[in-house]
Structure 1
Amino acid sequence: MFGFFKRDKNKIAKEGDDHTVDSMELLGEQSESTGKEVKTSLHFPPAANISQEEKYYYQFLNNELPLLLENQISLSGIEVHSEDGRVSVKAFIRNSLPKGIRFKEPVPLLLIGPNGEHLARQTFDLSTLGELPAESSVPWVFIFDDRNVRVKEIPQTDWKLAFELQKPKAPHALDLEESWEKSLADTDKEKLAQLVKTIQPPKPGEVNFMGIQSRLDDDGALHVTLLIRNGSEKNVNLEQLPLNVEDASGDIIAKGGFKFEKLEIKANTSKPWTFIFPKELVLKEEIDLSKWKAYVPQS
């Protein structure tokens, strides 16, 4: 990987900018910090076969790199080269921790242009680097396949190679319909919010239902309140929903189909909703609601 393209001997300065992140954000690990600044020393990949002249060149560039704070990982762009649609980026990978590190998981990287535009994106297996020594700078070549390059022309200056950090997912939250927001007492809203907060959230991409409350009214209609739980990253709109309800004996006590003009369950939220089965849809006279469940029947 390292020797994929030779440098232009007329160039004596690095052309890319730096991108630096906290090691906890990227690797989930950190060492005790004293707040000191770190000058990273130059190391070469074990398999690198480069001339003495090249070594002097990289040493010169490394000497010009800014100091890092402890517990940082940095990418410092050296040069970029395009050929047959592929883009190769040579950069220093820098480690300011007082210990060696390894990239055990694939790392998504962005090639970013002068105005913040994304020129290319690709995930790299950096386990082939082996251990990045403590307080070191290691030159490496990253090759972006043509399918991952988004522009035809790659600028030669003012670009940077950057780690694409995953944004922390917001906790699963309660979402109330406007009518519920207006009618529920604050204490009831707080109880619902606490319930949503404490129970296990739905799996990513999953939409499911959790029973909250059930009762028979004076007219014999069955009222069933459910949490509709959306574990996906997209809003879900329900237009119709068939439901069966079973009581403690395991008997189906009510069947019905419900249609909605608009019932939207926002991404990563749970919404309470009450479903009312008229008396004629209740299938059993003696009902034991000490234990019950509601579910969408299999077609």
Structure 2
Amino acid sequence: MVKLHFHPVWDSKLTKEQKDELVKILKSLSKPSGDLEAALVRGKYKKNGGLVATVLLLNGREKRLEIGRIKVQITDDKGVVVAEETFDPSLHLEPDTAQPWSFVFSKESVRIPNANPMIWKINLLINGQI
């Protein structure tokens, strides 16, 4: 079973109710296939024109996973790119763990400023592969 892990900053800022909600979301997901996966928890546009995607990063591998430079792509339900940006979160995920994280996209990386966040999907591109 995949366990939920919190980065120290998240652990100190989230309420018990918020943590419980993330546990509930994690339980509703299928076990990761072995690669790094992300499940979109919440998406929203920012007042400055950027957007925020809060996700659960999932490591289904049997070994620790280091997450360095990664391209993150938000698409709509038809596969049209809403936003795309490269991040360097410098995170590590232990085997069979999930960790909440937020990717904050700049205004310049947003291609569609009015797509419904309820239909967003998230893709992680590692070495050019989704």
Which residue of structure 1 aligns with residue 110 of structure 2?
282
SS in 1 for 2:21: helix
The one-letter amino acid of 1:216's match is Y
Deviation at 1:249, TM superposition (A): 4.7
Work out whether 1:256 is the aligned partner of 2:72.
no
Which residue of structure 2 aligns with residue 95 of structure 1?
none
Q: Where do 5+ consecutive residues of structure 2 fail to align?
A: none
What's the RMSD between the two structures over aligned residues?
1.6
8 Å CA contact retained: 2:49, 2:113: no
The one-letter amino acid of 2:70's match is L
Structure-to-structure mapping, 1:58-97, within 5 angstroms: none
* Alignment partners' CA distance in 1, 2:118 and 2:30: 23
The one-letter amino acid of 1:176's match is F
8 Å CA contact retained: 1:202, 1:230: yes
Q: Where do 5+ consecutive residues of structure 1 fail to align?
A: 1-170
Which residue of structure 1 aligns with residue 69 of structure 2?
240
8 Å CA contact retained: 1:231, 1:269: yes
Q: Percent identity?
A: 24
8 Å CA contact retained: 1:230, 1:267: yes
8 Å CA contact retained: 1:230, 1:236: yes
Structure-to-structure mapping, 1:183-198, within 5 angstroms: 183-198=13-28
SS in 2 for 1:195: helix
Q: Identify if the C-alpha distance between structure 1 residues 251 and 233 changes in structure 2 by more than 3 Å, giving closer, same or farther.
A: same
Deviation at 1:290, TM superposition (A): 2.5
Determine which of 43, 46, 61 is the counterpart of 1:217.
46
Q: Which has the larger radius of gyration?
A: 1
The one-letter amino acid of 1:283's match is R
| Number of aligned residues | 127
* Alignment partners' CA distance in 2, 1:238 and 1:251: 25
* Alignment partners' CA distance in 2, 1:230 and 1:188: 21
* Alignment partners' CA distance in 2, 1:285 and 1:272: 24
TM-score by length of 2: 0.88
Which residue of structure 2 aligns with residue 266 of structure 1?
94
Deviation at 1:220, TM superposition (A): 1.2
Q: Using CA pairs under 8 Å that are at least 6 residues apart, name the structure with larger relative contact order, 1 or 2.
A: 2
Q: Identify if the C-alpha distance between structure 1 residues 199 and 284 changes in structure 2 by more than 3 Å, giving closer, same or farther.
A: closer
